[in-house]
Each structure stands twice: as structure tokens, then as C-alpha cells.
């Protein structure tokens, strides 16, 4: 469940905790990859979306990931971010079937090309996870 922001905990600490829970290693890799080119931006990624928005109390993490997967699918040009959030959706309790349905729903509002691209992104994430599980590297 989400946590209401507290005054004792910094935005960064709250964001780090949320990022780790939601995106796991995939999110940490994104932040780390930004650290050498734009360390301030890497910090903003932790503080604003994860420290401020994801930690708001009135919407659960599962619902937030449904919205995020739908939005990134609809954009049609954010495959790397979509893949991270497909993993995040799985991390917070979405099933593969639910993720596929979320993406298919976007065909109505964002068009078939966006939905097809989203489905291919999901296929890649699922295959990568299956490969990790088969090799014993699942977390």
C-alpha cells in the first residue's frame, strides 16, 4: 500500500523506498544510468514521481501502475519506460493477462500501432522474466 508523506522522512528517502518497492532493479538502473550525465535529474526522478506522487495515500500502487502502463502505451514512443512499468506492474500484483488487457484497451483510445508496440514491449518483458526464471536468476 502507499504511504502518506511524513515530515520526518525526506522526499528523496521516501522516493528511494517507493522506487525500490515498485520498480526494483529496473528503476534503480534507470536512475543510475542518469547519474553521470544528469545527477540532478536522477534525483528529481526519485523525489517527484516516487517521493511525492506514488506515495500519495488515495490511490494504491496497483492502480497507479495500471494508469502508468496505459499512459505510456498511449504515448506510443516510450517503450523503455513502458517496459520498466510493466515490470513494476508485475511487482505490485498485476497479472500478465491484466497487463495485456490494459495495453489492448489503449487500441481504442491511442490506436492500433500504440497498442501493438505496447504488446511487443510486454512480450519482451515476459520473455526476459521467463529466461531469468529458467536460469534460476529470478528475484
pLDDT in tens, 29-51: 888 899 899 999 999 999 999 99
pLDDT, residue 51, reads 94
Angle made by CA atoms 18, 81, 38, in degrees to the nearest 5 = 75
Q: Hey, is 4 helix, strand or coil?
A: coil
Q: What is the mean pLDDT of each run of 10 residues along the chain (139 residues)?
A: 61 92 84 92 93 95 97 96 96 97 98 97 96 70
Count of C-beta atoms within a 10 Å radius of residue 1 = 7
pLDDT, residue 1, reads 47
User: What does the block give as the cell for 69?
Assistant: 502502463
pLDDT, residue 25, reads 82
pLDDT, residue 89, reads 97
Residue 128 and residue 4: Cα distance in Å, rounded? 34
User: What does the block give as the cell for 86?
Assistant: 510493466
CATH 1.20.1290.10 range(s) for the chain read: 59-139
**What is each CA distance from 110 to 64, 75, 83, 99, in whole angstroms?**
19, 8, 18, 16
pLDDT, residue 104, reads 98
pLDDT, residue 5, reads 53
pLDDT, residue 30, reads 85
Angle made by CA atoms 53, 55, 61, in degrees to the nearest 5 = 95
For the domain covering 59-139, report its CATH number: 1.20.1290.10
Residue 51 DSSP label: I
CA 9 to chain centre: 23
User: What does the block give as the cell for 58?
Assistant: 488515495
pLDDT, residue 6, reads 52
Residue carrying the nine cell digits 517521493: 51
Amino acid at each position: 500500500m502507499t504511504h502518506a508523506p511524513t515530515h520526518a522522512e525526506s522526499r528523496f528517502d521516501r522516493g528511494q523506498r517507493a522506487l525500490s518497492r515498485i520498480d526494483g532493479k529496473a528503476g534503480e538502473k534507470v536512475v543510475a544510468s542518469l547519474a553521470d550525465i544528469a545527477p540532478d535529474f536522477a534525483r528529481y526522478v526519485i523525489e517527484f514521481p516516487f517521493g511525492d506522487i506514488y506515495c500519495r495515500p488515495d490511490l494504491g500502487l496497483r492502480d497507479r501502475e495500471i494508469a502508468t502502463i496505459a499512459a505510456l502505451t498511449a504515448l506510443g514512443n516510450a517503450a523503455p519506460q513502458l517496459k520498466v512499468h510493466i515490470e513494476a506492474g508485475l511487482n505490485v500484483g498485476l497479472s500478465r493477462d491484466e497487463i495485456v488487457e490494459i495495453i489492448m484497451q489503449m487500441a481504442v483510445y491511442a490506436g492500433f500501432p500504440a497498442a501493438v508496440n505496447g504488446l511487443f514491449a510486454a512480450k519482451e518483458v515476459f520473455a526476459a522474466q521467463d529466461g531469468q526464471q529458467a536460469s534460476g536468476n529470478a528475484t
